Chains A and B, each alone.
Chain A
Amino acid sequence: MSECLVSFLVPIREAPETTLTSLFSIKDNSSDKIDYEILIRFDEDDETFAALIPKITEMFEGTRGVVKIIIGPRFGYEGLHHYYNELAAISKGKLLFLWNDDVQILPVKAGWEVTGHSVDMATFERWDEILQQDEDNRESHIHVLTPTEVYWNLPEPGPDVKYHKQITTMAFPILTREAYEVIGSFSHSPLNDGYLLDLATLRLDGKFIRKRCRINLLHQPDSDEKGASFRIRTPEYAEAFHTHYSDEVSAHCEEARRKLHQHWLEKH
């Protein structure tokens, strides 16, 4: 097996349809020339996984995507980082991609295949080739790549609209293996994206350690007609939010930043 470019870290609970759509977008938009991993974590009390697992393994059969599955105790939303840390621990990729079941790789039209029969076929970019280019081109101070997220199912901007149709680059950070090994964990907060964005406020030689990468994602979080996420109204989210802003998580993040900075100084 050649070097694995990226490990998708995917904690899933009771979401069979969105999971299949999401994973299919990874398979369907890849060149199938570059190795990658799909690492999934199910709760042992999730009643949907038995039916889902054979569909997933079948989907990636004969492709360059290796599937590994962990089934274990439930940590809940407030313990989301434990799932990511478990998955990161068995990962092999040069990049560790925080993934959810409500996100898909977006196809990018890149040209036309001329058929000579008056109908030309559109050709599309392959996410793995784009990510490989971005990885090859990554400067040594960059440790967090942030894909481009498209939210085109959200409402138009307007009064009382919480989140409108937009482009962002915040929710699905990709951590380098080098940084993961220096820090020793993927995240210490259930708000994993926020934690990694906090980590990425570190500057090395005056330059931010994060960079937007060219992979385009379609993110479709469950939300109301004003674009407000249903998740943020739950008690589990309130607990996760409280944990994220605790002194303990803050100290972990500071320590992670210190380790990365120290590593940079030793290398340069």
Chain B
Amino acid sequence: MSECLVSFLAPIREGPETTITSLLSIKENASNTIDYEILIRFDEDDPTYLDILSKVMEMFEGTRGEVKIVIGPRYGYEGLHHYYNELAAISRGKLLFLWNDDLEILPVRSGWKERNGHHQMEDWDMILKEDFEDMGPHIFLLFPTEVYFPSDKDLYERHISNLSFPILTRKGYEAMGHFSESPLNDAYLVNVGCLILEGKCIRKRSRVMLHHKCEYHPNRQGASEIHATAEMGVKELADQEAIRGAAAQIVTQSLATEALSKNGLL
């Protein structure tokens, strides 16, 4: 099996319809030429998972998307980071994508391949691979472009945002030793992503387009309170330091490689 580009980390609870729609958008908008993983975490007391499980397995059969499922104890919304950390621990992707069931990959119509031809649809995996390959050595987090087309149920007015679905690089994950320490995983990684290295931000917007159908979550308030503690700030700073160390190591390695190359040793 070739290298895995990205691991989608998807904790799911009682969302059978949204889950299928969400995962189908990943499958249908992929080129199917690049390996990726769908890693799902179900609560053991979720009565819907058995039914979804077989549908998800069937959906990705014969594709480049490998599905892995973890079933375990319930942590609730206030323990959301524990799900992400479990999934990250079994991931193989060069990128770790924070995913929700209320999210879909948005198709993008693009130009043609031959003169006077017909439009093509972009493949999210090709776009993400390009973004990964040319992001620069100081980037540790990519943030996809989120589009909010509102409906009656949606929490927000229509807008474009770039905050809720961070994609952590494996080098960032390995430096930190975990995916997130806060149940507000997006905010945690946005805070870590405020680190500046040599005047440059460690985060960058990716061109992958997402449609987020955001609804109000009643347990968010409790999670917000956990997130807003001073202890969380200390953890974020520690993660920034770990990333700073990893970045220094990358620079040292690349300088060494350059020196070896100049001396004809590579």
Measured CB to CB, the residues of A under 8 A from B are 106-111, 125, 130, 133, 137, 139, 146, 148, 150, 152, 165-170, 197-198, 200-201, 208, 210-212, 214, 216, 245, 250, 253
Complex alpha-carbon distance, A216 and B206, angstroms: 12
Cβ of A244 to closest chain B Cβ, rounded Å:
9
Task: With A107-B159, A150-B160 given, name 9 new contacts (CB 8 A).
Answer: A107-B160, A108-B160, A109-B163, A137-B134, A168-B109, A198-B112, A201-B111, A212-B207, A214-B207
User: Who on chain A is nearest to B156 by CB?
Assistant: A109
- Distance between Cα atoms of A130 and B206 in the complex (Å): 11
B139-193, CB < 8 A from A: 145, 147, 149, 158-163, 190
Assembly CA distance A57 to B111 (angstroms): 35
With an 8 A cutoff between CB atoms, is B62 at the interface? no
Please give me the residue from chain A that is nearest to B194 by CB atom. A111
B115 CB–A CB distance under 8 Å: yes
What are 13 residue pairs bridging A and B, where the CB atoms are less than 8 Å apart in the complex?
A: A107-B160, A109-B160, A125-B162, A148-B108, A167-B107, A167-B209, A169-B111, A170-B111, A197-B112, A201-B112, A201-B117, A212-B122, A253-B115
**Chain A residues near B163 (CB-CB < 8 A):** 109-111
**Number of chain B residues whose Cβ lies closer than 8 Å to a Cβ of chain A:** 32
Docked-complex contact B110 and A170, CB < 8 angstroms: yes
CB distance from A175 to the nearest CB of B (A): 14
B107 touches A214 (CB 8 A): no
Residues B113-133 near A (CB distance < 8 A): 113-117, 119, 122, 127, 130
State in angstroms the CA–CA spacing of A68 and B209 once bound together.
35
Query: Across the interface, do B207 and A148 meet the contact criterion of CB distance under 8 Å?
Result: yes
CA distance A167 to B158 in the complex (A): 14
CA distance A166 to B149 in the complex (A): 10
CB neighbours of A212 from chain B (8 A): 108, 110, 122, 127, 207
Interface centre among A125, A133, A146, A148 (most CB of B within 10 A): A148
In the assembled complex, the Cα of A125 lies from the Cα of B145 at a distance in Å of 12
**B106 contacts chain A at the CB level, 8 A cutoff:** yes
Are B110 and A168 touching (Cβ within 8 A)?
Answer: yes
Contact B111 A152 (CB under 8 A): no
Q: Smallest distance from the beta carbon of A213 to chain B beta carbons, Å?
A: 8
Inter-chain contact B145/A214, CB cutoff 8 Å: yes
- Of B111, B115, B204, the contact of A210 (CB 8 Å cutoff): B111
Alpha-carbon gap, A125 to B136, bound state (A): 19
B-chain residues with CB within 8 Å of residue A165 when the two chains form the complex: 149
The residues of A that contact B130 with a CB separation of less than 8 Å are 211
Which B residues are CB-close (under 8 A) to A166?
107, 109
The answer to whether B205 has its CB under 8 Å from any CB of chain A is yes
Instruction: Report, nearest first, the 6 A-B pairs whose CB atoms are least far apart.
Output: A109-B161, A168-B109, A197-B111, A198-B115, A108-B160, A167-B108
> What residues of chain A lie closer than 8 Å to B112, measured between beta carbons?
197-198, 201
- Would A111 and B127 count as touching, CB distance under 8 A? no
Q: Are A167 and B147 in contact (CB under 8 A)?
A: yes
Q: How far is B157's CA from A267's CA once the two chains are assembled, in angstroms? A: 49
Is A201's CB under 8 angstroms from B114's CB? yes
Given contacts A166-B107, A200-B111, contact A152 B149 (CB under 8 A): yes
Residues of B within 8 A of A152 (CB): 147, 149, 158
Nearest residue (CB) in A for B209 is A167
Also in contact, A111 and B116, with CB within 8 A (given A169-B108, A201-B111): no
Interface residues of B in 188-239 (CB under 8 A from A): 190, 204-205, 207, 209
A251–B176 Cα gap in the complex (Å)?
Answer: 57
When the two chains form their complex, are residues A109 and B159 in contact, meaning their CB atoms are under 8 A apart? yes
A108 touches B205 (CB 8 A): yes
Closest to A194 in B: B116
> Which among B122, B134, B147, B205 is the interface contact of A150 at CB below 8 angstroms?
B147
For B162, give its contact among A108, A167, A169, A170 (CB under 8 Å). A108
A133: chain B residues at CB < 8 Å are: 204
**CB-contact partner of A148 in B115, B204, B209, under 8 A:** B209
CB distance from B110 to the nearest CB of A (A): 5
Contact B145 A198 (CB under 8 A): no
